[in-house]
Structure 1
Amino acid sequence: MSRLPFYVIVGLLLVAGIATSVHRHLQFEIPWVPGEQRQVWEIEAVINFNAQNGPVQVDLALPSHQNGFRVLTENTASSGYGLAYKADELGRQAQWTTRDAAGSQQLYYSVQMLVSPDARPPIQTPPGLASTTPWESPYDSAASQLIDRAWARSANNATFTRELILDVNGERQGESARLLLTQETPSALIVRLLNQAGVQAREVSGLVLEDGRRRQSLSSWIQVFDESANQWSLFNPITGEQGQPDNLLLWETGGRAVLEVQGGTNSRVSFSMLTHHQPASAAVRNHYSEDTLLNFSIHSLPLEEQALFQTILLIPIGALVVVFLRVLVGIKTSGTFMPVLIALAFIQTTLPTGLIGFLLIVAVGLIIRNYLSYLNLLLVARVSAVIITVIAIISIFTVLAYRMGLSAGLTVTFFPMIILAWTIERMSILWEEEGPKQVLIQGGGSLLTAVLAYLAMNNPWVRHITFNFLGVQLILMALILLLGNYTGYRLLELRRFKPITDDEKPS
């Protein structure tokens, strides 16, 4: 029979497992190794204004995903106000409303921004060229002179913008620029001149991030649309430098007001900021907690269930260890996957405590089971009696450990009692049929397999990979299928050929 379908299935499992794992790493930025830290900025915006004894509506521009930053979480504090988040092609806004307010008012907005070098803003279609208000004389001549001089020294929109900024704010500032600056702020003037020259440009607001700073204000920056790259380029309106600094967070990018207050006066907004580091996996979970694809996974479950699945997803690792040791090495165990369950118990109890507890319970259980064999009970009744015996043994050991002040001994309750009862029953029957040697071989093999499975399952890297990359389960399935297809000699069986090799040696 052709083995091609088998190898096709194994190949598909490997490809699917690797592809989904790589996709989660690239798309959701989940790290490959545990303990990786990510920088997070906590920013608080405080809005102050005086209400005029009537209805109030406050609109505040909010930051969005952008180059180098992602929004993790956001919160507001606004007692007595209704709150709504709005989003359109110009960006995001928070809107507070109330029917009646008087006197000094304070509203709070806080956001956590994840520093993410791979973050990119959503694809934006450039708006149509903004209509410019014609200059009056003599400002029209000054504007034309600035545009013509910068245009002659440029090669594209980016260099034209740089030259224009230097002519308005740099050392080359002349009479024309000083005249126009009496009518507009530097950033607004540059944007107006760019639009007049047919270049799509807009003024945006950014926040320079410095740890521990309070009562900071936004600064103006200029975005120019680069048609060749089909994206917006950022320029410093003072120096003409192109590019977004690493510590600059663009707060408003739609070209509209950062803060609008209806029904109030003397409105202003100030910013405070702190930075800290947190585990990368936690930061990513916060960011994608509402993502539909991630919600399909276990990360959308409550923490209690997530902790349960973190242990369950380790079982295939233990199964792979058991299959490898039984199929390739040839180690005999008492029960096929009993060592995996014992390894899970070791994870809860720690290895030294688990080993001592396991040996004590099995040894005492075998002694009591040996007595039960003289009663000639039926199998079901005998196994039930062994189960009750195991429970009694665990209870006695737990109480004794507590009385002796050994807190580690309290964890022996994590051992699977039914599995221990069946292990004691199998070992007892094996002792009667094949002698104590086979009991030691299979019991020792079970314990060795359980220890190796524990070491593999309790590895921090393995725990991280299995929990955060579910595609690994497909890879484990493919490896187990390949091992299940092995029909050659086991390593321990090669001892049978030792006499042949000894005979072939020259005397």
Structure 2
Amino acid sequence: MLSSRLKIELIAGALILFGVGLTVYKVFALGFPLLPGEYREVWTIETKISFQPESGAVDVKLTLPEPVAGWELLDEHFASSGFGFAIRGEEPRRANWTKQNLQRETTLYYKLQAYRPTVDALPDRPPEALMPPLLNPDQQVAMERLLNVLRAKSVDVESFTSLLLVEMGPEGSDPDAGFLRSTWEEESGDILLGILAHAGIPAGHLRGIRLEDGRRRQTASALLEVYDGDNWLVFDPETASRGLPPNFFVWQRGSQALLDVVGGSRSRLEFALVSNSLPARAVVAMEQRLGRYALLDFSVYALPVEQQGVFKGLLLLPVAALVVVIMRLLVGISTSGTFMPILIAIAFIQTTLLVGLGIFLTLVAAGLWIRSWLSHMNLLLVSRISAVVIVVIFLMATLALVSYKLGLDQVLSVSFFPVVILAWTIERMSILWEEEGPHEVLVQGGGSLLVAVLAYLAMSNRLVSHLTFNFPELTLSLLGVILLLGKYTGYRLSELYRFRNLGRD
């Protein structure tokens, strides 16, 4: 009869060998990269087109991106089950889905992989013909006054456009600009392009995606592109800053529509993004072999990009769990709750470490003070916890508003902290304060923060993130290690330090 310890050791050994063995096979047989340092950042962008069909034939056209500004396209995939599909070779390229009859709402997919080995300028293109929109007499007068003011303050096209963006933004103070904003109709097109056309300056939209790892359901963004007679200048209408942002993937230039749907209504165009550090050749080879190797058909790469971004974060949780197990069982650190440090570490990833520590300490300190006041009201446990949850939400909203007014954008990520966990932490620490005193609160609270910081450092490590995403089977090996640690009955490091004098005797 096998003992429980031997059973755990056999199961743990099998899990560790299976995870490591599968990783070695993927590295040497399938060409997966083991280290991320020497590889480029490859972005996988999945486009989702959804619409409600109407009676009659359906014709969907999507403008496809071109490799500009240093971007290189590695591969493209289209999902068009039941549709006729073709790629129009016109300028720009367009994907065309057609179907004679469609009964229910459907979704079409287009996925590409791209990387940016160099940062190049946008290629030159001829400006489009100026088409100023028709204005009523009052708008015409306001337009002329605004253009005269901007011309008097500017010396060239660049300074004119910068001043225009400031006046048309939320901080603008020109009354004529405000009047045009309030009376402009959507049928007249974009207001900035209309004003620039009246000023005789060729301009257009530069549509694309702001790259953010793990982002889901993102919509297309538009930059402003103006022609100064020799070159095209790019401006961000939101910030009035000049230049192409480094995290902006250019999808389309010009006035042509990004998506056209004939025979459908309520169409939506959404993007899901995920980045990974891989060599470009390995990514292309992996995509080509998805149908040849059954192992790759069940890998994370076989999932839609939206789910890939989710699993990229979930696969880091076993690493944080291993940190908690080591710190509690081997080191002997006391924490407030078993896995609360993991949730705090997840919030730190979203807020950055120093900002997250400040937010956490502020919320917990304020919550403890309010909880001490509620304890004198003799409330039942359920009512007390609910009151603390509401107070924590109010404190988070207040902190976000104050930080926004002060221009502290990082503090706005306070919403990533789990509200219920914060409320239970405050309740647990307040009870601990009453039963054990403030010293025990400091010990467990400090231990929780220490373990959370170590878990954050492990989860945010580039090598760890690379290994967990490309080799998810290693989580089985982590499970085996945790099972082995679960049978550890020896002294902890804190106990060895505590009883160090006995060892000397």
Please give the secondary structure, in 2, of the residue aligned with 1:464: helix
Q: Is the 8 A contact 1:332 1:442 kept in 2?
A: yes
Give yes or no for the alignment of 1:315 onto 2:317.
yes
Which whole-Å CA distance do the structure 2 matches of 1:280 and 1:312 have between them? 27
> What TM-score does the superposition give when structure 1 sets the normalisation length?
0.52
Which whole-Å CA distance do the structure 1 matches of 2:463 and 2:387 have between them? 41
Q: Is the 8 A contact 2:35 2:463 kept in 1?
A: yes
Q: Is the 8 A contact 1:343 1:451 kept in 2?
A: yes
Which whole-Å CA distance do the structure 2 matches of 1:392 and 1:280 have between them? 50
Cα shift at 1:77? 5.8
Please give the secondary structure, in 2, of the residue aligned with 1:375: coil
Cα shift at 1:462? 0.1
Cα shift at 1:501? 4.1
Letter in 2 for 1:283: V
Residue 365 of structure 2 corresponds to 363
Cα shift at 1:36? 3.5
Which whole-Å CA distance do the structure 2 matches of 1:477 and 1:78 have between them? 51
**Within-5 A mapping of 1:313-462:** 313-462=315-464
Which whole-Å CA distance do the structure 1 matches of 2:354 and 2:478 have between them? 28
Please give the secondary structure, in 1, of the residue aligned with 2:356: helix
Q: Is the 8 A contact 2:8 2:484 kept in 1?
A: no
Which whole-Å CA distance do the structure 1 matches of 2:41 and 2:323 have between them? 37
Which whole-Å CA distance do the structure 2 matches of 1:402 and 1:74 have between them? 41
Letter in 2 for 1:344: I
Q: Is the 8 A contact 1:339 1:449 kept in 2?
A: yes
Cα shift at 1:475? 0.7
> What TM-score does the superposition give when structure 2 sets the normalisation length?
0.52
Which whole-Å CA distance do the structure 2 matches of 1:311 and 1:363 have between them? 29
Aligned-residue sequence identity (percent) comes to 52
Q: Is the 8 A contact 1:339 1:446 kept in 2?
A: yes
Residue 487 of structure 2 corresponds to 485
Gaps of 5+ in 2: 43-73, 79-85, 91-112, 114-277
Cα shift at 1:340? 0.5
Cα shift at 1:293? 3.0
Cα shift at 1:279? 4.2
Residue 286 of structure 1 corresponds to 287
Residue 235 of structure 1 corresponds to none
Deviations 1:409-456 (A, max 9, x none): 011110111111111100000000000000000000000000000001
Give yes or no for the alignment of 1:499 onto 2:501.
yes
Q: Is the 8 A contact 2:329 2:492 kept in 1?
A: yes
Give yes or no for the alignment of 1:9 onto 2:11.
yes
Deviations 1:119-144 (A, max 9, x none): xxxxxxxxxxxxxxxxxxxxxxxxxx
**Within-5 A mapping of 1:195-234:** none
| Structure (1 or 2) with the larger CA radius of gyration | 1
**Within-5 A mapping of 1:96-245:** none
Cα shift at 1:14? 1.1
Give yes or no for the alignment of 1:475 onto 2:477.
yes
Residues 35/480 of structure 1: CA separation in 2 closer, same or farther (3 Å cut): same
Cα shift at 1:38? 7.7
Gaps of 5+ in 1: 41-70, 81-111, 113-276
Residues 39/307 of structure 1: CA separation in 2 closer, same or farther (3 Å cut): closer
* Count of residues in Structure 1 that have an aligned counterpart in Structure 2: 278
Which whole-Å CA distance do the structure 1 matches of 2:6 and 2:403 have between them? 57
Residue 33 of structure 1 corresponds to 35
Q: Is the 8 A contact 1:35 1:279 kept in 2?
A: no
Cα shift at 1:280? 5.6
Cα shift at 1:358? 0.6
Q: Is the 8 A contact 1:369 1:424 kept in 2?
A: yes
Residue 46 of structure 1 corresponds to none
Letter in 2 for 1:442: Q
Cα shift at 1:25? 1.5
Pairwise CA RMSD: 2.7
Cα shift at 1:500? 2.4
Q: Is the 8 A contact 2:429 2:441 kept in 1?
A: yes
Cα shift at 1:484? 0.6
